[in-house]
Amino acid sequence: MPESTVHRPLVVSAVDTDRLAVDTLRFLAADMVEAANSGHPGMPMGAAPMAWTLWSRHLRHDPADPGWADRDRFVLSAGHGSALLYGLLHLFGYDLPIAELRRFRQLGSRTPGHPEYGETPGVECTTGPLGQGLAMAVGMALAERMTHARYPELTDHRTYAIVGDGCLMEGVSHEAASLAGQLRLGRLIVLWDDNAITIDGAVDRACGDDQLARFAAYGWHTEAVPDGTDIAAIDAALTRAKDDPRPSFLAVRTVIGHGAPDVAGTAKAHGSPLGADQLARAKELAGWTFPPFTVPEQVAATCAVLAGLGAEDRADWLGRFTEFAAAAPRRADEFARAGARTLPDGLADALSGIVGDAPRATRQSSQACLDALRPILPELVGGSADLAGSTGTAFGPVVRGDDYAPTAIAFGIREFGMAAVLNGISLHGGFRVFGSTFLVFADYLRPALRLSALMGQPVIYVLTHDSIAVGEDGPTHQPVEHLESLRVIPGLQVLRPADDAETALAWELALTRTDGPTALILSRQSLPQHDTHRRAPQPTVTPRPAAADGPGAEDLVPAPRVTATGKPSDAAVVGSPPTADDGAVAVAEPLIGEEHRTVELVATGSEVALAAAVAEKLRADGHLVRVVSVLDRTRYSPDPSACTVSIEAGTTTAWAGVVDLAIGIDEFGHSGPGAEVMAHHGFTVSSVLARIRDHLGSAR
């Protein structure tokens, strides 16, 4: 957008349009909070000038198409200031009518308490959990450069974020800002709403960071704007930031609750309505005589013109795209395909090609999957929090500040930052993303994983070293509770494959899922291949519904998730091939007829082989035994006619609601060779067998 935009002769009254627009944003926000009797007026009132300056003079977007690939991204990392964002979206003509502003924070409105991706046109990501907006903005800015490296003809946009003090205190701000500096993301511009106030009071009660020096230490361009109401100064700083090849951090000094006579500059303005009296006095002081929820005509007209310029920008881009598509139809198709998250043909075949005979760790099976995917899925990018080799996610040369063409990203030892950046890349669009670390360190990235699920982003988390079998590294590195702690996150698909074939299937399920994240839970130790997986396809049967009168049966299959997982067939009897077809669960029955079954052993991942060995012994006892490998527990329905036993090297509490006997581990592990640690905690044929025999004996 030309710099001159707002200096066109739009001003039809003596009142300065900028001043009027800023006050519109301030009072729309305060009116929203007042109407809801809930929310945060202070941030919008203080940050309205910087937001207006950015949106009126710099942000390149077309409100008519919030999904335009080459738009600038705007992230309100200080998500509690949502009323400011909704005001901006309304003013500029996004599909967010004033009626929705009046329904701020009401059930079913498009104006939830914090910005939520997917609920409101123009909201680029869900924010509120502090610091993550900044990190997602880093991801978006990285995605822009990576897209530019692939499609320079189609890519020329920036990412802007407004962050608050809380964002900067959160550790994830360090991880993300450090990565942004390392990767020289010059198209990222961060405005800090430097209002010196947090919920509990003055920032200097808790934080004395020299933020400019800190960001300079990360390799950023930094600048202070001492008066956050000075639109010309903000504008000039933004212009300099755009010209700087480094990511930019602008400290814009503001007053929280600007204009509210009694509470401005205090924590009282942060998170409560101003109250009718205080709001009335603020309006009076500002000379604001309009009724609540008013957009002055002059402001509306200005914004319409600005939106029109954005529409022109998009029209130009569409023209360029048409030329590009004519000149390079295959690349244009690829661009569109990746943008639509459509998978190329041949993916399942490529994945199933990795299946072999030799035992190997599923992390290695997963590495083979990635190797197979690389040539056919160019939009797949990702990396590791410094465990690429260990987690089986080596993916070629890594992206650097002078080369964004590679598909691998060295995230550094920054799990949380990695996950939030992956969210940002995924939200940007055009890529499928994965990131890896040890399962035990899923705790470090959990807040971002939750946002993946809440935003419905198909981020693939590769989490290896998945049990106490990790061994010598000890309990700090041995997951115990982590599988269950992930399974309880709504909308997260958790898959724990047992061998090559299931790992390939897990990758297929992760990739075919486009509306939510997946966690692949993989072993450190070598696992056998379950031969029968590779037999010719067996007949598949429809899964049995859970017995209606079984204890807790109605809760066996968790209540509907926010988003459906991929295709079913994630529970496989050992002896049947896993498939992702037909929506049917592969439960072929190679061993015995269902009518004779007495014991059903259910296991996941590395414990499937243990279950198979135990089954042999039980059969020698005269039991009729089926072994089920459960890639995804939500797909498993127990056989109501059998005694069901789960075997998984993790917490048993939730399994206890699924099966009759849950064998697992509910305490921390120990340092020692993996097999010895497993034995110490009862994961041997003899220990498991003894527990099952006891159970069968007592159940008689």
- Minimum distance, C-beta of residue 230 to a copy of itself, in the bound complex (Å): 25
Closer to a copy of itself by CB, 276 or 699: give it: 699
Q: Under DSSP, is residue 615 helix (H, G, I), strand (E, B) or coil?
A: helix
Closer to a copy of itself by CB, 213 or 358: give it: 213
Closer to a copy of itself by CB, 311 or 679: give it: 679
DSSP H helical ranges for 78-131: 82-91, 98-102
Cβ–Cβ < 8 Å for 519, 605: no
- Minimum distance, C-beta of residue 275 to a copy of itself, in the bound complex (Å): 17
Residues 6+ apart with CB under 8 A from 213: none
Report the C-alpha gap between 138 and 144 in whole angstroms. 10
For residue 415, indicate whether it is catalytic. Answer: yes
Q: Under DSSP, is residue 568 helix (H, G, I), strand (E, B) or coil?
A: coil
Residue 311, Cβ neighbours under 10 Å: how many?
Answer: 17
Burial 540-566 (b: 16+ CB within 10 A, else e): beebeebeeeeeebeebbeeeeebebb
Report the C-alpha gap between 267 and 257 in whole angstroms. 9
Residue located via tokens 């590779």: 534
Closer to a copy of itself by CB, 126 or 278: give it: 126
Closer to a copy of itself by CB, 210 or 581: give it: 210
- Minimum distance, C-beta of residue 551 to a copy of itself, in the bound complex (Å): 5
**What phi and psi values does residue 647 have, to the nearest 5 degrees?**
-130, 110
- Minimum distance, C-beta of residue 88 to a copy of itself, in the bound complex (Å): 19
Closer to a copy of itself by CB, 342 or 698: give it: 698
Which long-range contacts does 170-175 make (Cβ < 8 Å, 24+ apart)?
170/130, 170/131, 170/132, 171/131, 171/416, 172/131, 172/132, 172/134, 172/135, 172/416, 172/417, 172/420, 172/447, 172/448, 173/131, 173/134, 173/135, 174/417, 175/135, 175/412, 175/414, 175/416, 175/417, 175/418
Cβ–Cβ < 8 Å for 499, 533: yes
Closer to a copy of itself by CB, 50 or 494: give it: 494
- Minimum distance, C-beta of residue 409 to a copy of itself, in the bound complex (Å): 9
Closer to a copy of itself by CB, 123 or 355: give it: 123
Report the C-alpha gap between 270 and 266 in whole angstroms. 8
- Minimum distance, C-beta of residue 339 to a copy of itself, in the bound complex (Å): 26
- Minimum distance, C-beta of residue 238 to a copy of itself, in the bound complex (Å): 23
Would you say the C-alpha torsion 335, 339, 344, 349 has a positive or negative sign? positive
Closer to a copy of itself by CB, 40 or 61: give it: 40
- Minimum distance, C-beta of residue 114 to a copy of itself, in the bound complex (Å): 5
Q: Under DSSP, is residue 188 helix (H, G, I), strand (E, B) or coil?
A: strand
Catalytic-labelled residue, pool 415, 508, 600, 607: 415
How much of the chain is in helix, strand and coil states, percent to nearest 5?
45, 10, 45
Closer to a copy of itself by CB, 205 or 330: give it: 205
Q: What is the 3-state secondary structure (H, E, C) of 19-83?
A: HHHHHHHHHHHHHHHHHHCCCCCHHHHHHHHHHHHHHHHCCCCCCCCCCCCCCCEEEECCHHHHH
- Minimum distance, C-beta of residue 666 to a copy of itself, in the bound complex (Å): 4
- Minimum distance, C-beta of residue 660 to a copy of itself, in the bound complex (Å): 5
Pairing verdict, β 460-464 and 571-573:
unpaired
Cβ–Cβ < 8 Å for 527, 606: yes
Report the C-alpha gap between 387 and 486 in whole angstroms. 20
- Minimum distance, C-beta of residue 124 to a copy of itself, in the bound complex (Å): 15
Structure tokens belonging to residue 608:
């499937």
Cβ–Cβ < 8 Å for 629, 571: yes
Cβ–Cβ < 8 Å for 399, 146: yes
Burial 448-464 (b: 16+ CB within 10 A, else e): bbbbbbbbbbbbbbbbb
Closer to a copy of itself by CB, 1 or 398: give it: 398
Report the C-alpha gap between 613 and 606 in whole angstroms. 12
Catalytic residues: 415
